[in-house]
């Protein structure tokens, strides 16, 4: 067992698990306190009536970030985690009968878009090449370094990265860039959708977000063997293997500070102190300040940033296998502008929401009984502002079923044999995610990247932050990167003078 500095990680979401592994690998003695009865946070699973469902994330990119943790620990990844790269990324459906399969390979994707939509393949390819260029030239600067410490800013070469961004990509919206470069309504709608990958509004998020498709159409879409939850399982196993101790059903009540709040002393759990040299909060940063640090001045400007969107998810056990559906399916709204206005201004769900259907039983037969399928059916929903309730859920449920009927010609209602529902208040209740947001703060302004909470506390030595609510943002890959950045600071600040 490590006898180095003592570290406490608050929460075992994917960011907390990764941070615990990194801290243990650098010689810390690590305890993870988790409020729930198991690890994973949003990345969890449940079983009902012979079906298995991943509760939260369904799309997996950047497996290298998981592999990196195993390499760091010197443990062969294959024994704990396996995945495959998929040729097919998504299936897109419009109500007018247009259908398109999106391929991981950019050239194949461009040819498909030309064949199905009539948009010039060269134009699509140019668009995707620019996405990849941007991801390569600026992604590392903004996502892999802290934007809050001079030493790291210099390493990340922010001025160099800024020079490589075109003016409209910084100050125009993603929608404006897509419209100018693709000039085709359905192609624009398809690439606008990537704003939702970090819970943002394509009509406001900067054009720079055009780099997101490079993950799917280039790197590729991946399928973890055993479902998304196998990511949590693998990281939990690895953490235990490197000596991390887990305490479940153990909500942290306070972060304990030294005189004048200059250093951490540990945490309070079940009324008892647990001392530590390093405290890493994987809990959403808003409740971390509001509940665990009530006497510490909070960075209000950061905590009041607009939150990302949330979701309403219907987990349906469906008594059929629909031949037209793949792993990831998108049934588009007829009016994207109205959909995003509802989400971010009116804070409700519009009458014709885009519907996302994820069916893992296509690849994992054990996820549903024979001849049946496990539908994870999700619509984007606003952050929780008190508007959720049975009426909203029933309305959206009816609208989703109508949409499936109009687009796929399937009467779903009599085929549903089991059902569970998740909405923003439930996400908040299950994971403490402020307002039930999926991705922390939204990226609806060019400054958003700089207005996330740093991965360290500016005043309190030994206090660090990881997970989707802090820099560099939400989603599995970014939560993993947040852990890498936060652990880097934790290591340099406990082993060497601050």
Ligand X SMILES: Cc1cc2nc3c(=O)[nH]c(=O)nc-3n(C[C@H](O)[C@H](O)[C@H](O)COP(=O)(O)OP(=O)(O)OC[C@H]3O[C@@H](n4cnc5c(N)ncnc54)[C@H](O)[C@@H]3O)c2cc1C
Q: How far apart, in whole angstroms, are the C-alpha atoms of residue 190 and residue 195?
A: 10
User: Among residue numbers 248 through 267, which ones bind ligand X (CB under 6 A)?
Assistant: 251-252
> By CB under 6 A, is residue 196 in contact with ligand X?
no
CB of residue 394 vs ligand X: minimum separation in angstroms? 19
CB nearer to ligand X: pick between 125 and 357: 357
Q: Alpha-carbon torsion 330, 335, 340, 342, what sign?
A: negative
> By CB under 6 A, is residue 34 in contact with ligand X?
yes
CB nearer to ligand X: pick between 58 and 374: 58
Token pair of 186, please? 């359905």
> By CB under 6 A, is residue 16 in contact with ligand X?
yes
Name the nearest CA neighbour of 355 among 375, 338, 333, 335: 333
Q: How far apart, in whole angstroms, are the C-alpha atoms of residue 138 and residue 124?
A: 21
CB nearer to ligand X: pick between 182 and 359: 359
Token pair of 478, please? 């970014």
CB nearer to ligand X: pick between 182 and 340: 340
Work out which of 5, 45, 57, 110 binds ligand X, going by CB under 6 A.
Answer: 57
Name the nearest CA neighbour of 478 among 143, 242, 195: 143
SS3 for 331-352 is: ECCCCHHHHHHHHHHHCCCCCC
> By CB under 6 A, is residue 63 in contact with ligand X?
no
Residue 384 φ then ψ, to 5°: -75, 120
User: Among residue numbers 315 through 344, which ones bind ligand X (CB under 6 A)?
Assistant: none
> By CB under 6 A, is residue 156 in contact with ligand X?
no
In what helix (H) or strand (E) does residue 358 lie, and over which residues does it extend?
strand 355-359
Work out which of 7, 8, 20, 56 binds ligand X, going by CB under 6 A.
Answer: 56
> By CB under 6 A, is residue 441 in contact with ligand X?
no
* CA neighbours closer than 13 Å in the CB half-sphere of residue 237: 15
CB of residue 288 vs ligand X: minimum separation in angstroms? 8
CB of residue 478 vs ligand X: minimum separation in angstroms? 7
How many residues of this chain interact with ligand X, rule: CB under 6 A?
Answer: 36
CB of residue 19 vs ligand X: minimum separation in angstroms? 8
> By CB under 6 A, is residue 282 in contact with ligand X?
yes
Q: Which residues contact 358 (CB under 8 A, 6 or more apart)?
A: 54, 58, 59, 327, 328, 329, 375, 376, 377, 378
CB of residue 171 vs ligand X: minimum separation in angstroms? 27
Q: How far apart, in whole angstroms, are the C-alpha atoms of residue 66 and residue 235?
A: 8
Q: How far apart, in whole angstroms, are the C-alpha atoms of residue 488 and residue 466?
A: 11
CB of residue 162 vs ligand X: minimum separation in angstroms? 26
Question: For ligand X, which stretch binds (CB under 6 A), given 86-94, 131-139, 398-406, 433-441?
Answer: 433-441
Q: Which residues contact 243 (CB under 8 A, 6 or more apart)?
A: 1, 2, 24, 29, 30
CB of residue 116 vs ligand X: minimum separation in angstroms? 24
From residue 346, how far is each of 23, 137, 303, 384, 409 by CA, in Å?
Answer: 43, 36, 21, 12, 31
> By CB under 6 A, is residue 377 in contact with ligand X?
no
> By CB under 6 A, is residue 204 in contact with ligand X?
no
User: Among residue numbers 400 through 429, which ones bind ligand X (CB under 6 A)?
Assistant: 427
Q: Are 431 and 447 in contact (CB under 8 A)?
A: no
Q: How far apart, in whole angstroms, are the C-alpha atoms of residue 145 and residue 129?
A: 24
Q: How far is CA 247 from the centre of its chain?
A: 24
Q: How far apart, in whole angstroms, are the C-alpha atoms of residue 49 and residue 315?
A: 12
Beta-bridge partners for 251: none
Work out which of 189, 336, 431, 448 binds ligand X, going by CB under 6 A.
Answer: 431
Closest residue to bound ligand X by CB: 13
Residue 305 DSSP code: S
Q: Are 43 and 197 in contact (CB under 8 A)?
A: no
CB of residue 444 vs ligand X: minimum separation in angstroms? 17
> By CB under 6 A, is residue 10 in contact with ligand X?
yes
> By CB under 6 A, is residue 239 in contact with ligand X?
no
Work out which of 206, 317, 454, 475 binds ligand X, going by CB under 6 A.
Answer: 475
Question: For ligand X, which stretch binds (CB under 6 A), given 34-42, 67-75, 147-155, 212-220?
Answer: 34-42
Question: For ligand X, which stretch binds (CB under 6 A), given 9-17, 138-146, 179-187, 213-221?
Answer: 9-17
Q: Alpha-carbon torsion 13, 14, 15, 17, what sign?
A: positive
CB nearer to ligand X: pick between 225 and 495: 225
User: Among residue numbers 299 through 318, which ones bind ligand X (CB under 6 A)?
Assistant: 311, 313
Work out which of 7, 14, 134, 239 binds ligand X, going by CB under 6 A.
Answer: 14
> By CB under 6 A, is residue 59 in contact with ligand X?
yes
Residue 241 DSSP code: H
> By CB under 6 A, is residue 462 in contact with ligand X?
no
Work out which of 6, 22, 42, 457 binds ligand X, going by CB under 6 A.
Answer: 42
Interaction site with ligand X (CB under 6 A): 10-16, 33-36, 41-43, 56-59, 251-252, 282-283, 311, 313, 427, 431-433, 438-439, 467-468, 474-476, 479
């Amino acid at each position: 067992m490590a006898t180095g500095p003592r570290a406490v990680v608050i929460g075992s979401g994917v960011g907390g698990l990764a941070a615990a592994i990194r801290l243990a690998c650098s010689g810390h003695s690590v305890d993870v306190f988790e409020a729930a009865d198991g690890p994973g946070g949003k990345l969890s699973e449940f079983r009902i009536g012979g079906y298995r469902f991943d509760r939260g994330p369904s799309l997996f990119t950047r497996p290298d970030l998981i592999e990196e943790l195993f390499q760091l620990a010197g443990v062969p990844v294959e024994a704990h985690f396996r995945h495959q790269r998929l040729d097919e990324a998504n299936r897109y459906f419009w109500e007018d009968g247009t259908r398109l399969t999106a391929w991981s390979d950019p050239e194949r994707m461009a040819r498909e878009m030309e064949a199905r939509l009539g948009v010039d393949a060269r134009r699509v390819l140019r668009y995707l090449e620019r996405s990849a260029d941007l991801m390569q030239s600026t992604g590392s600067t903004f996502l892999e370094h802290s934007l809050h410490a001079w030493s790291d800013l210099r390493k990340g070469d922010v001025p160099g990265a800024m020079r490589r961004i075109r003016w409209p990509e910084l100050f125009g919206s993603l929608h404006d860039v897509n419209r100018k470069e693709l000039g085709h309504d359905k192609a624009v709608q398809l690439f606008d959708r990537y704003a939702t990958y970090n819970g943002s509004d394509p009509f406001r998020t900067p054009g720079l977000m055009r780099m997101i498709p490079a993950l799917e159409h280039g790197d590729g879409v991946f399928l973890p063997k055993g479902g998304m939850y196998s990511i949590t399982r693998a990281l939990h196993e690895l953490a235990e293997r490197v000596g991390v101790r887990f305490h479940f059903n153990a909500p942290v009540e306070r972060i304990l500070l030294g005189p004048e709040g200059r250093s951490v002393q540990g945490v309070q759990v079940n009324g008892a102190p647990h001392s530590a040299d390093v405290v890493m909060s994987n809990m959403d940063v808003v409740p971390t300040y509001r509940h665990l640090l009530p006497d510490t001045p909070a960075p209000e400007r950061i905590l009041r940033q607009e939150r990302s969107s949330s979701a309403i998810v219907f987990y349906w056990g469906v008594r059929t296998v629909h031949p037209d559906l793949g792993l990831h399916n998108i049934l588009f709204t007829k009016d994207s502008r109205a959909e995003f206005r509802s989400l971010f201004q009116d804070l409700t769900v519009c009458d014709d929401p885009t519907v996302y259907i994820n069916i893992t039983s296509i690849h994992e037969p054990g996820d549903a009984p024979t001849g049946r399928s496990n539908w994870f059916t999700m619509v984007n929903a606003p952050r929780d502002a008190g508007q959720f309730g049975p009426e909203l859920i029933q309305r959206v449920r009816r609208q989703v079923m109508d949409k499936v009927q109009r687009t796929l010609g399937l009467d779903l209602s009599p085929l549903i044999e089991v059902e569970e529902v998740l909405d923003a208040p439930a996400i908040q209740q299950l994971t403490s995610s402020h307002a039930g947001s999926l991705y922390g703060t939204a990226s609806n302004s060019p400054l958003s990247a700089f207005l996330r909470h740093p991965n360290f506390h500016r005043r309190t030595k030994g206090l660090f932050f990881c997970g989707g609510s802090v820099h560099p943002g939400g989603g599995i890959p970014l939560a993993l990167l947040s852990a890498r950045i936060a652990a880097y600071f934790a290591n340099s600040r406990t082993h060497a003078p601050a």
